[in-house]
């Protein structure tokens, strides 16, 4: 109940974004390889941002 109003941290937002980009990349890999590669590149950028965040 109390987590209903808890704000997400920057790390949680970036992890969710990374997950959605990877899912989109996987779906696109069946139809459009170039778009899939672009999504993977975006996901890699997000992963770098996650790794740079302090623990």
Q: Which pTM does this prediction carry? A: 0.85
CA 38/CA 52 separation, integer angstroms: 22
Residue 38, phi then psi, degrees to nearest 5: -65, -40
Chain position carrying tokens 């209903």: 4
CA-to-CA distance for 54 and 5, rounded, in angstroms? 24
* Tens digits of residue pLDDT in 7-54: 889 999 999 999 999 999 999 999 999 999 999 999 999 999 999 998
């Amino acid at each position: 109940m109390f987590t209903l109003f808890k704000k997400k941290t920057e790390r949680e937002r970036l992890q969710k974004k990374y997950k959605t980009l990877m899912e989109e990349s996987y779906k696109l890999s069946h139809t459009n390889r170039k778009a899939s590669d672009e999504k993977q590149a975006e996901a890699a950028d997000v992963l770098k941002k996650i790794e740079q965040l302090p623990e």
